[in-house]
Every structure is written in C-alpha cells, then in structure tokens.
Amino acid sequence: MTRLLPEGEPIQVWGPEDAADPKVGPEGFVWRGRAHRVEAIANRWEVHTRWWEAGEVMWRVYYKVTTE
C-alpha cells in the first residue's frame, strides 16, 4: 500500500548518492526512529520544482520502495 503524507516527514537515508544513475538508489532509511532496509525499488521519478523562479530551480528525486 502506498501512503502519501501531505506535510511530509524528514528521514535519514543511507546508500549511494549517485541520484543521476537510475539503477542506484537508497539502501535504507530511518523513519520515526526505526531503521528500514530497502528490498526493492518499485519506481523512481524526478520533480522539477520552483522552475518559475530564476535561480531557484531544484530537482528532487523520489523513490517508491519495498522494505523488509
């Protein structure tokens, strides 16, 4: 089941940091004080944010993952 949190919540992520390579993704993360190991990456997408403001362009990379 996919749950989207409207306000979002910060997490700590570990693993390779090469977001440009679609084969590389996080190995795990800590959410609400509990560590989760990533079993599989189901989807990866990039969102181009603040494109309307000069100098404020940012790309965010999102992953949909399956955990243990």
What is the pLDDT at residue 25?
85
What is the pLDDT at residue 50?
73
What is the pLDDT at residue 62?
84
What is the pLDDT at residue 33?
94
**Residue 39: CB partners within 8 Å, gap ≥ 6?**
65, 66, 67, 68
What is the pLDDT at residue 4?
67
SS3 40: strand
Q: With contact defined as beta carbons under 8 Å apart, do 59 and 49 qualify?
A: yes
Burial 54-66 (b: 16+ CB within 10 A, else e): eeeeeeeeeeebe
> Please, what are the averages of pLDDT over each run of 10 residues along the chain (68 residues)?
72 77 82 94 84 76 88
